[in-house]
A and B are shown apart, each in its own frame.
Chain A
């Protein structure tokens, strides 16, 4: 049954692709193999087939055959809309696209990347990997919500999901998803939280259930120039501050990355370190215990001292 159906879909696609003029329904039923039964049954079959082909991305064009009598529509598929059009591609461009597809191995869009790769390899252009340096990029996103969220973002469809709040409460959120982006390997959803009427950022890993796409709620609007990475940069990493921290010599590797050593007293290096988020920076300094001592700014130093006192109190 399934193979009869796919046979008919292939035959229909081929007939509509090969024709230079629009075919009427009666011509299709007469010539394309697979349309059987009563007129009504054929009609139903054809409508279903058109929807199915649209679902796999094949657009059937409809045009009135006779401008005076609009009741006789004609159908065809334009080869340009049917086929992969990325302009002329060189062997090294095919190789670059292959690497881009391979970046998804084992991750959320793995199946889509693989089917894209099959299409690219069907162009009959030999990949030229020799022109490229050894590269092996990797997109790290594990969340099964990635694909539905990407669809919701590009369709501008409202979503709802359960989110783990900072207080560890599971909350239902209704969001107009504006964008999906990653920084430092962590994926975020940015959107308008409808109950709070404010733009919020959500980590994908903190979404606890399957995202529901609220298709019935219509399409929302979003600034066409909204750039998700610019938004993340200006909201997640707002501060750009400098701290002076004494780091024990031979220790504090994670903090030393990009730091400048101002002086050294044989036991400690005095380092100047830039950071983007004070809370996270304090966590990092505390992680290093007695190997990292904040000198300035005084406000940062005071916050670290107060947290150390909290630690002592909590472990009395």
Chain B
């Protein structure tokens, strides 16, 4: 928050203060679980507890010191009532909760009025901690998101198979697939599902906002058959010239590594993609801002496709 460097041990002090109310409400928790909650190692937690054991109120006799027992690997605490309440939310914490609540509100079914009014009530309470006008100025709007994330998470947790209906953008087709969901990933603020696709017998990445439906698949669970032929989808190489809208072209073809190049429309820039169809469609969509130089087959296909599309315009409009 300030540019001044905080003292050593300050994070430790903050964690110690947060440990006390957590322990008071979780008597008997194991050191391992406690470490996990606070994102530190069991050794660090043990050292925290040893420090806490030396703390208390003025006098510092057995009557005033915090009493802890953790020899057994399970922690109990007493004589720590002064610190029984959790600390107030810091601004970053309140902001994280606020943006999370706003995202949640966008995702729920708006006909669930009981739930939406609870969320709105909490947004008001938490906004007050961030400051009303700051809350208006940092705000999460409608996510690109997917209503199916809960179902997919459930399948991941129970290691179940999913049947998804997916809109493949490159081929403009909707297909049903049986997948084993592995994990969520994100790139440039877009969310993806990494999965083993049984239908195509390989690892695939699905854009979350293109998953049209997802259901737990009640079929027989089969272990993925992994063979060396399906590690990486094959890439195709091509080159292009940038004629206009340089940033759009660079972003769509992920050319960021050569951003430093001076722009020169005669320069042929090498690029790669996983699909010829996808490349064709991206070039079409750029409407003449980028031109394929090689391979010749891809170049002539763009030309043919543009001509065929133009033919559709030779009919008078309705």
Contacts and interface: CB of A to CB of B under 8 A. Distances in A.
B88 A81 contact: yes
B104 A135 contact: yes
Point out which of A93, A115, A180 has the most chain B C-beta atoms below 10 A from its C-beta.
Answer: A115
B150 A136 contact: yes
Interface string B12-56: 111011100110111000000000011100000001001110111
Contacts of B3: 213, 215
Interface stretch (A4-12, A36-44, A60-68, A193-201): A4-12
A277 B107 CA distance: 24
Interface string B141-159: 1111100011111100000
Contact of B138 (A93, A180, A287, A307): A180
A164 interface: yes
A211 interface: no
Nearest to A305: B313
Contact of B100 (A79, A113, A165): A113
A178 B50 CA distance: 46
A261 interface: no
Contacts of B282: 287
B236 interface: no
Interface string A99-143: 111111011010111111011111110000000111111111111
Interface stretch (B198-206, B225-233, B241-249): B241-249
Contacts of A132: 115
B68 interface: no
Nearest to A23: B58
B182 interface: no
A101 B100 contact: yes
Given A101-B100, A251-B172, A168 B259 contact: yes
A138 B83 contact: no
A23 to B, nearest CB: 9
Interface in B78-101: 82-83, 85-101
Contacts of B9: 1-3, 5-6, 9
Contacts of B115: 96, 132-133
Interface residues of A, number: 136
Contact of B109 (A115, A133, A206): A133
Given A52-B13, A81-B88, A101-B100, A184 B144 contact: yes
B122 to A, nearest CB: 6
Given A18-B82, A31-B58, A103-B104, A3 B51 contact: yes
**Chain B interface mostly helix, strand, loop or mixed?**
helix
Nearest to A206: B247
B239 to A, nearest CB: 13
B234 interface: no
B96 A116 contact: yes
Contacts of A14: 55-57, 82-83
Interface in B117-148: 118-119, 121-122, 125-126, 129-131, 133-134, 136-145
Contact of A287 (B17, B136, B285): B285
B186 to A, nearest CB: 5
Contacts of A293: 309, 312-313
Given A99-B104, A121-B25, A7 B247 contact: no
A93 B118 contact: yes
A291 B247 CA distance: 27
B140 A312 contact: no
Contacts of B154: 134
A116 to B, nearest CB: 4
Given A11-B56, A115-B18, A252-B172, A57 B263 contact: no
A299 interface: no
A83 B83 CA distance: 9
Given A55-B6, A307-B288, A179 B95 contact: no
Contacts of B55: 7, 10-11, 14
Contact of A142 (B21, B186, B243, B312): B186
B160 interface: no
A283 interface: yes
B70 interface: no
A213 B173 CA distance: 47
B219 interface: no
A315 B92 contact: no
A48 interface: yes
A311 B317 contact: no
A104 B153 contact: no
A220 interface: no
Given A150-B138, A227-B136, A308 B309 contact: yes
Point out which of A14, A83, A183, A270 has the most chain B C-beta atoms below 10 A from its C-beta.
Answer: A14
A87 to B, nearest CB: 6
B303 interface: yes
A39 to B, nearest CB: 19
Contacts of A158: none
Nearest to A31: B58
A139 B16 contact: no
Contact of A254 (B10, B169, B303): B169
Question: Considering the complex of A and B, which 7 residue pairs feature the smallest CB-CB distances, nearest first?
Answer: A310-B288, A185-B144, A100-B100, A307-B287, A83-B85, A2-B9, A124-B25
14 contacts: A3-B12, A3-B47, A52-B13, A55-B10, A100-B122, A116-B93, A136-B153, A154-B91, A164-B247, A166-B246, A228-B138, A311-B284, A311-B303, A314-B243
Interface of B: 1-3, 6-10, 12-14, 16-18, 21-22, 24-26, 37-39, 47, 50-52, 54-60, 82-83, 85-101, 103-104, 107-109, 112, 115, 118-119, 121-122, 125-126, 129-131, 133-134, 136-145, 149-154, 167, 169, 172-174, 184, 186-191, 209, 243, 245-248, 250, 259, 263, 280-288, 290-292, 299-300, 302-303, 305-313, 317-318
